[in-house]
Structure 1
Amino acid sequence: MELRHLKYFLTLARELNFTKAAEKLCISQPPLSRQIKELEEEIGARLFDRNNKTVTLTDAGKYFEKEAGKLIRNLEAATLKTRKISENISGKYRIAYISSTFSVTISKLIRHLTQLYPYLNIKLYEVPSHKQIAALEQGKIDLGILRAPLISTKITSKRWFQDSYSLVFNNQNIQLNSTREIGKLKDEIFVFFNKDYAPDYHNSLLEICAKYGFTPNIVHESNNINSIIQLVRNGLGVSIVPSCLSKGQRYPEIDYLDLQETGLFTDVLLATPKDSYSEVTGSAVSYLLD
């Protein structure tokens, strides 16, 4: 049995007319009749009842149509997936990240992948966590770097690292020596992520402030962590940020105060669409987890 036998059979099963099926297949009617006869002889069952006026599927033919259709669809899916794997090595590879994690490490990741796959065209997108989840589910990005929680049956994820939170403030305007003094910030201006942009992160910051006995006076909002740091640096407010930023965002005007005592942490995840794990993704995840 060859693939053409299945395609000829399925076309005739749809058309139930030898002339129309032959036209669809761009062949003449006699070769189509021979191919169908060969298929029936190989299977050992009559698939069609035909006379001078009508062509109908037998019960065996109806069953075979369903199973042959599955085989063709599975083959098409495997072909598409194979093409995607190939394109990931010599085509486009899309990485989404949240602004609070774009670090030297990610730059090194790009260099690492470029060395392994010199023909790979890497696309980087800054995307909030909740939008990354939707994009991953739809297969629009190949690797997502985002913050938990991640609730989806269509995505596979691994924890990259766990991060605590830190208060960041301008040391020219505010003097803080320990977390015991944080309560006096209740009248200070706060700079936070927009709630619609990063709802879970925003709520975590509110929860931290509540643990220190006050509700923050949020005046300025930004959807980019670098903008938040610069606003704090210029004395326009204080903020609470992931502690990992203290390693890469160092300025003489600002200090960080770790808030691990709150018991609140945030997981940064490496996420991929389920069942679409490629060689490039394997290399990227292994590099980041190493």
Structure 2
Amino acid sequence: MINKLLPLLKYFHALAETGSFTKAAERLCISQSTVSIQIRKLESILGVILLHRKSKHQFALTREGAALASETCNSFERLAAQLNAIQSDCPTSGDINLSSSASIGIKLLLPIIAQLKKIHPKLTIHLQETSAKKLFFEDKIDIATNYGVPDVGLHSIYLKTITKKMVASASYIKRCGLPTNLQQLAQHQLIMQAGGKNEFQALFAKSDLDITVLNNQSVSSNLAKLEAIKLGLGIGIVPDYLLDSDDDTLVLISTMDLRACAEELYLVCEKRRRYESKIQWLMTELATALKTESKAVRSPLSDH
């Protein structure tokens, strides 16, 4: 009977762990109906009901189902740990998924990935863009970057504090003038990131200015924000790592105190996976490289 059960347990494990027919199907790259059929086969072989089906998509585990779910979870975790132990002698080969924002990925991580690839040609680091909510399991993320103190449910390593700079294009400043205080800044066109941290809100928070009437242009990312600034659409606040000290098309506006806009950057992974050799090794390598780079990098832009 065990030969019939083993292939079916992966379907039950995926369903119990995700709590959803939809997510289990996505994880296994099959249809929801196939998941349902395989679960019914498992119930038929065991002679017990594992799920109370509340509707087409909702269910609750029975007592027997909960017991089996606990055992399969432990068994799969032990198997994963054993497989990881087998690979532990060589964490620098194979595939690993790293998730970050587009700007961090392009400007900070890709150069490090390129160097690691030269040293460890058998290692492939897949870089993907972070969604609004990090779904490690669903999105198959091994390691991710995180702005701000991470959730307590995640293992984290502090990388660096990202400072911000206020900039505008030289053409915009020539056309609209250089603001020297918040009152003047409030009269300008401001470039903001939709769905991201509102740096201007933090900047104006301690003033008595009505920030609900600010003139703003929304863009999708920090990279888009910088491009909009270069095109003369307004003034923006961007991470310092995006700025090039040799770029004479941008003007640094240094009269505003941007300390409240700074953000701490972390690397995070699921706590249950923090001791996996490959994850441990890569998090350490990335953290070391970023900290070393921070000490060597030139200051972005100069006052104009």
Task: Report SS of the residue matched to 2:109.
Answer: helix
Deviation of 1:149 (Å): 4.1
Q: In the alignment, which residue of structure 1 is the partner of 2:281?
A: 283
1:167–1:238 contact (8 Å) kept in structure 2: yes
Instruction: Find the partner of 1:94 among 92, 97, 106.
Output: 97
Gaps of 5+ in 1: 1-20, 26-66
Change (3 A) 1:102 1:214: farther
- How many angstroms does 1:88 deviate by? 7.0
8 Å CA contact retained: 1:109, 1:284? no
Distance 1:163 1:122 in 2: 23
Secondary structure at the counterpart of residue 150 of structure 1: coil
Q: Say whether residues 1:251 and 2:247 are aligned partners.
A: yes
Q: When the two structures are aligned, how many residues end up with a matched partner?
A: 220
1:1-290, aligned counterparts within 5 Å? 74-83=74-83, 86=87, 90-128=93-131, 130-131=132-133, 133=134, 135-136=135-136, 138=138, 140-153=140-153, 155-174=154-173, 180-195=180-195, 198=196, 201-202=197-198, 204-211=199-206, 213=209, 215=211, 217-246=214-243, 248=244, 251-258=247-254, 259-260=256-257, 262-277=259-274, 278-290=276-288
Q: Distance in 2 between matches of 1:98 and 1:23?
A: 44
Which AA in structure 1 matches 2:186?
A: K
CA RMSD in angstroms comes to 3.7
Aligned partners of 2:2, 2:162: CA distance in 1, in Å?
A: 64
Matched-pair contact (CA < 8 Å) for 2:172–2:233: no
Q: Deviations over 1:46-103 (max 9, x none)?
A: xxxxxxxxxxxxxxxxxxxxx9997875343221244367497544311111134235
Relative distance call for 1:80 and 1:218 in structure 2 (3 A) is: farther
* Deviation of the 1:266 alpha carbon: 0.7
Q: Does the 8 Å contact 1:147/1:269 carry over to 2? A: yes
1:199-239 deviations in Å (ceiling 9; x for gaps): xx12x431213346452735422222121111111111111
State how far apart, in whole Å, the 1-side matches of 2:2 and 2:181 are: 84
Give the conservation status (yes or no) of the 8 Å contact 1:165–1:260.
no
Shift in alpha-carbon separation, 1:263–1:24, aligned structure 2, 3 A: closer
Relative to 1, partners in 2 of residues 1:100 and 1:108: Cα closer, same or farther, differing over 3 Å? closer
User: TM-score of the superposition, structure 2-length normalised?
Assistant: 0.59
Give the C-alpha shift of residue 274 in structure 1.
Answer: 1.0
Q: In structure 1, the residue corresponding to 2:234 is in which secondary structure?
A: coil
- Unaligned stretches of 5+ residues in structure 2: 6-66, 289-304
**Residue aligned with 1:252, SS:** coil
1:214/1:163 CA distance change after superposition, 3 Å: farther
Amino acid at match of 1:252: D
Using structure 1 for the length normalisation, give the TM-score: 0.62
C-alpha deviation, 1:267, in angstroms: 0.6
SS at match of 1:271: strand
1:114-163 Cα distance to aligned partner (Å, 9 max, x none): 245423332111225x42x3x2365721111121142241x111211012
1:237–1:274 distance in 2 versus 1, CA, 3 Å: same
In structure 1, distance between residues paired with 2:68 and 2:258: 62
Q: 1:113 touches 1:283 (CA, 8 Å); kept in 2?
A: no
Q: Is the 8 A contact 2:273 2:279 kept in 1?
A: no
Counterpart of 2:136, as a letter, is L
Indicate conservation of the 8 Å contact 2:84/2:277, yes or no: no
Q: CA deviation at 1:245?
A: 2.4
Rounded to whole Å, the distance in 2 between the matches of 1:231 and 1:174 is: 14
